[in-house]
Structure 1
């Protein structure tokens, strides 16, 4: 399936900004120039620029255009929904996903509370260690409602689950609530990650919703303390 043009524009420019090909302060081509370059409409270009703006890649100045912002300290965004595959593409470092488990099982009491479903609801459980520069530094524990995601496999989990959900299943993933905490590392963390001397870990809990507001995924993303800074991009809202 061909990628939407606005996402193509967004991905190409966000990658160039992350890689340093476009330096802070660089002015982007105008809407008309981009529309001509991508053989699309100005409305599509505007959609891509608005996404770059919302994610903190550019600053739009009325009457002057769009300018690249400094991204050097933006390592792992708190806002926005980004898959590991998408994030890894911006790092410029070798990475891979190690699938530990992909299984369907009843939700059980604890997970049922997180997903707001009955305890006997079938749920896909996917456990993956993320390796960057030959160190396992992220442990992702994903849980998907099986009535919404009827099939998953280790092969899919080793690639990009979100790509599979959006492209193959046609799901429209919309937004997430995130909770971030620092917690003692578990036995599982020590077994599946290269924690070295660290006894605590950063846990990002995601509650992910579809466009129709249905909660379909709960995730615990567990990060080694020294490897990530969690950042947000805030804009002043004048009242």
Structure 2
């Protein structure tokens, strides 16, 4: 075996020897287009197609692919474990139930795909919670899909703003929040407030209760919508730290 093939096979060995994955993890990976394992032959073939001088480069490229793959599989594993914990039954049982309804199965596939790309554990747990609520109650599948669409692109600053809006503003009329009050409550939000609140409003999670007129409108008086409150409830039940400044 030449040098590049040996190196590539070594990386592939790490890939293949990562250990057996649970059936639910393997099924979910297959469903969303992630290989459960990369055969050593695949990486060896990569090495065999280039010159020995390029060995270190080829090994690095295979290593990059391995890292991306392994990270995504690990997120799928966390997702299925969270689904199981939320449902109180093995993830395999949840999948069997999902197969009985096309809408539930499609929701599972979409949520799992998003979870496989999530970079924070809280989001993976949140997505699992959203799915289980819809999957365990067929009447809520469409509602769960709406919540999923609303939260799939949220980041930590959005969650911090959600947390603020979920509580009455001691300095606002009827507990509503104005920009200056939000920024006083969380200085880290600062100039990003407009962008953050626009995202929440576009997702239907926050609403401006102040009447807009060309003459008198001077800024929003914000509160959460019912959808926004549902999202906060999902996060609170999963124990997510909404106001973590990171």
Give the number of the structure whose alpha-carbon radius of gyration is greater.
2
TM-score (normalizing by structure 1):
0.28
Higher relative CO (CA 8 A, sep ≥ 6), structure 1 or 2?
Answer: 1
* Structure with greater helix percent: 2
TM-score, normalised to structure 2's length?
Answer: 0.27
